[in-house]
Structure 1
Amino acid sequence: MPVPKSIENTPENRVGSGTTRTVSQTPHQNVPGTVTTGQSLQARKMRLIVELKLPQELKSCLVEDWELINKHKQLFQLPAKKNVDTILAEYVTFVKSQGKTDNREYSIDELVYGIREYFNRMLGTQLLCQFKKPQYAEIHLAYSHIPMSQVYGAPHLL
């Protein structure tokens, strides 16, 4: 099965190879109406891009999900059987069960809190592709009383 051009493993798109750059800078357009900070014009036109190393299993899942959504126009059933909050809670339990209790318990709680907050705040505006946004609008209306991390699951967390 061919890999979509936007995520194929080319030098420009490579994630997780042995020769990855950890941080690079690319030009960034100024957004009208934004507030500038005292940064130079050069600094405002640059943004940092961080590359992540993903295991091949996750890459395969992401490719499969991309094809289901973009080629076959399929969406995941919501609410998810195993939601983001459950996944994060299981991760905290796993990390704490490893027995290393220096300052990790506090830092893992902070990390998971940050991931959950980011997910809930950015899901509707930054994390979903355009095709998924009508479903999000319906779900957000139906489940407005709970955080979306209790509705969405692993495919959206990835």
Structure 2
Amino acid sequence: MSLSPYQFQLLTSSSRDICNNFEHFYTYFNLLINEKLTTFTPCSVHFNHRMHILSLNEHLTSQQSIWLYIEHNSLYLNELFPDKHQVFIFRDVFLMALSTTLKSKFTLAVRKAWQNILHVFTNMVLARVHGYSNVISMQQYRNRFQESKSFNGKLRRDP
């Protein structure tokens, strides 16, 4: 999935708005994440969420930047997401906090751009932290197609 130049521009400008109003964003994000994700580790010496979330917000403008963030913060992300379903909750909460912080600037186009980049982030975290990927090789696809096509010498559609 790639972003259009327009979406990149929307992400960049809205990311700047979030950084300028980060205290509001982080307060609401923290409230939602503690409500939705009860296993979320609270802030401590080891988990400075404020710093990591601000850094993530700054890196969520391109796929390459996201991958660099994930590589640099892989230990933090491993501790943050021990279960792969938590990544999806995190993504949804992040989007809700964005909508509350940006208010009227959170247009449909901005929402779509953030959904796209958060989808990329989620897939990259799942691949890096949990070793999960929905991408398969062409040979695996062909093998699965052949298996589904025939069943005990008969086509599946045959009675």
- Range class of TM-score, shorter chain: under 0.3
Return the structure number with greater helix share. Answer: 2
Give the structure, 1 or 2, with the largest relative contact order (CA under 8 Å, sep 6 or more): 2
User: Structure 1-normalised TM-score?
Assistant: 0.28
